[in-house]
Structure 1
Amino acid sequence: TICGLFGFELDNFERAEVQKATRRLLEHEKRFLERGLRNFLIYKDMFLKSVYRAGLPEILIYLPIIESGCSPRARSRAGAVGLWQLMPSTAYDYHLRIDYWVDERKDPVKSTEAALKYLKRLFGYYGNWELALAAYNAGPANINRAIAMGKTRDYWILRKRGVLSRETSWYIPRFYAIVRIAENPAEFDLNIENAGKKFTFQVLELEKSLSIRELCRRAGIPYSEIRFLNPELRRAITPPGRRYNLKIPAGSLAPFLSAYHGIKKEYIEDVAVYTVRSGDTIGEIAERFGTSPSLIKLINGLRGSLIYAGQELVIPVKEGGLINKVPIRNNFRNYSSLISSSIRYTIRRGDTLWDIAKRYRIEMEVLLALNGIGYNEVLMPGNEILIPVNPLLSP
């Protein structure tokens, strides 16, 4: 039996397109399928609770398998990120934070809530799940264009009339195929043992920034477990300027509380971006900004003290430091206006983020925050990024 159909037609599982998609997955994508199903078991309970709360069909819990292989760290060529492969524009619409410190598209709980809200909105607009899911894949504008060209709101007829992209024309058959396989993995001879790993946690509320590695060391919990539960964190330090709810392993609250009260807290008011000059050392920069070399290395992910001219460092600025004497450019807030006036840019051979930022006359930090990427991110030709454009300044 197929779980929680509510709005889905059972007969669609028997369509020839779904049978073909099933064969393709089993014959050509078996490794992806097994990995996705193993990952799915980690998050299944959380997915189920979320769809029940949202009042949506249970069948939607399988969507992250087709989207990301159920990996919160997955990133597409187009810049979609996380379990549900959310684009920056969708993330901001649903109040997910993307900046130097975090990318909440990677947060399993918050991204799931955002994706389900988006799916509910799409279903309310289209009135059937095939079109809603197609719009989730291709974007509502493309599906509306296909409806206008195909003169029908029936997904299967649009598919036959060739007005959908190849990816979207196979997206729904692949979804039905994955649901069918995931409901009966033994029938298809799949190995999906996941060693019993589950996404279960408690929350530790942190009032100030601190080193996550040091917190784990004092609590006696492997750092990898915190990384697993908090994939949205992009640094080994919790974000400054606000309280942060850190997910910790279920049953570990006592040692973490003890560690938290004994650990040094970092009182960071904000951060500044500093470009290293010839002859600079981390110690001199730290003294200039009224901070410590160890904190600069922690925030920037530096293992040693080697820096080079032209390198950009994010510098913590504490109360009483030089906050009023340096430009604070890494203060990411409210990017909805940037998203509304952005273009999609395809990376070409030889492009660097620095060159792109300079060409479009935007700050590097804005470009990074808008796309949820880091300074050291390697982008390949064909990758797509969003670029906020001021029509008066664009090249």
Structure 2
Amino acid sequence: MQKGIERTGYADFWELYKRNVLPRETKNYVPIIIGLTLIAKDAAHYNIQVEPEAPVPTDVVKPGRAIDLRLVAETIDVDLETLRSLNPSLLRLATPDDSFFELHLPPGTAQKFSAEIADIPPYKWVSWRRHRVATGETLTSIAKKYRVTAAAIADANNLERNAALDAGEKLIIPATQPQSETKRRLVSYRVRRGDTFLGIADRFSVSAEDLRKWNRLKSNKVGRGMVLRIYTLGGAPEISPARARSRSRKKPAQPIAGGAAGGAVAVNHN
């Protein structure tokens, strides 16, 4: 669908459908999802009896900032898929950088999470990991697995460089993010009918504060046709005065094709 949006400038499914730029499977399953949603909202109207399932019991925590789901899973000793199944809204391996975001954990694990995550600096939550030592593992073998040095692991855990490890012991791994995960990605989004400021921020997994800062806005008001700058990974890059002046001499950007109703998205990589 993204390719169709970039080709036509429209972010409306039915417009893309009419222009025949969608893969066959996309053209088929989206209307099915819409139909099922309408039925679910008013099952009685369609003579369908539904017995709602009881909500899945979970613990709820607010990390306060972005955190890698793998680190969370390793901290509370659950598999990653279990954690993802409890948080179906997360399409990536990290939570949004949103102080209000609620992360669902298996029952009885919230206290353990809070206690263990306190050992890792919050600004390292999207890169550092936890590792439970298996029989026969050494600092060197673990370091190779995470592509860090044995000395770095020893320092992070206050261990001697040649320390023997006990099976079952948990270590902090001062890993670094691959370059592809830290590369900033700039998205220019044209506001369309029905969009709200907070809805756009949620869609791109960014905070409202950052979205206002990137676009020099004083409030959460957005108007149809407005184009917003959104950095989907990390913050906005620093721009030197010289670079800023050189940008100001460039020709104004051409309007995004498709008009205000299209909700066009253009993607750049910095």
**TM-score by structure 2 length?**
0.34
Larger RCO (CA within 8 A; separation ≥ 6) = 2
> Which structure features the higher share of helix residues?
1
**TM-score by structure 1 length?**
0.25
